Amino acid sequence: MQHAVARLRDERLARSLKPFSARGSRVQRCADCRVMLAHCFCRLKPQLASRAGFCLLMHDVEMLKPSNTGWLIADLVPSTYAFGWSRTAVAPGLLSLLSDPQWQPYVVFPGEYASAERVVERCAEPEPSRRPLFILLDATWTEARKMFRKSPYLDGVPVLSLSPDSLSRYRLRRSRRGDHLCTAEVAARCLDLAGDLRAAEGLEAWLDVFSDHYLCAKDQRWPDLADAVHQRLAGFSRSTVLE
């Protein structure tokens, strides 16, 4: 299956009227892991599997940002789908995915923004014929609130409200609130709720290594491949298969 966010990035670039210029855009980056070529960590990527799936609704240029962490979800979770969000149109294929009987969709968003009858705090008991599909609004907090309000096709979907038990560890883009998690951190908590514990741990480890290599490249230093962060990821070998 093609990398969902890479595909979306290519589609977005193809229709751009002018080049997208992110911070550090003069740096020559690996096309797959998005860090400086000398700090590429693609060879460390584990092979994981998960019963749960993800649907990323991405705001405008989010898929073009090198620091975007929705990309990391698509790296490791085989059933990851990505769509660009628009206020006036629905991305092709999105409605079909939401109505696919193999999936039980959940919009992952704070419950205070939804009617009480829509809000759940855990996934429903597993059904053999239906797998959880977590819909993540990949955007800044201000943009995500607008997306939640102005996506009527999500109105009938249960809202999964997470209560983070720890502050965000994400170091590349910082919210003013420590309880605002990055997209990959939210995904890891969803996997944990769905019972995909090993996948949740693997995604967290992948995020930590990505952050480390990204910052090492920015600070012009070399990552320590023997440190605790890399050793944790090494526990998820390419032969790892999850039930």
86 contact partners, CB below 8 Å, separation of at least 6: none
Give pLDDT, residue 78: 94
Residue 22: its pLDDT value, please? 57
Q: CA Rg, the chain, in Å? A: 18
Q: Which secondary structure element, helix H or strand E, spans residue 198, and what is its range?
A: helix 197-219
Specify the residue for token string 């420590």. Answer: 178
Count of CA atoms in the C-beta half-sphere (13 A) of 74: 25
Report pLDDT for 92. 87
Residue-wise pLDDT tens for the chain (243 aa)?
689 999 999 999 888 766 655 555 567 899 999 999 999 999 999 989 999 999 999 999 899 999 999 999 999 999 999 999 999 999 989 999 999 999 999 999 999 999 999 999 888 776 778 999 999 999 999 999 999 999 999 999 999 999 876 667 776 665 555 457 899 999 999 999 999 999 999 999 999 999 999 999 999 999 999 999 999 999 986 544 333
For the chain, the first-to-last Cα distance in angstroms comes to 19
- Residue 179: the pLDDT is 55
63 with 72: CB under 8 angstroms?
Answer: no
pLDDT of residue 134: 98
Scanning 37-125, the segments in alpha helix (DSSP H) are 70-76, 94-99
SS3 139: coil
Predicted pLDDT at 25:
58
Q: Return the H-helix or E-strand segment holding 107.
A: strand 103-108
Tokens of 49: 């599997």
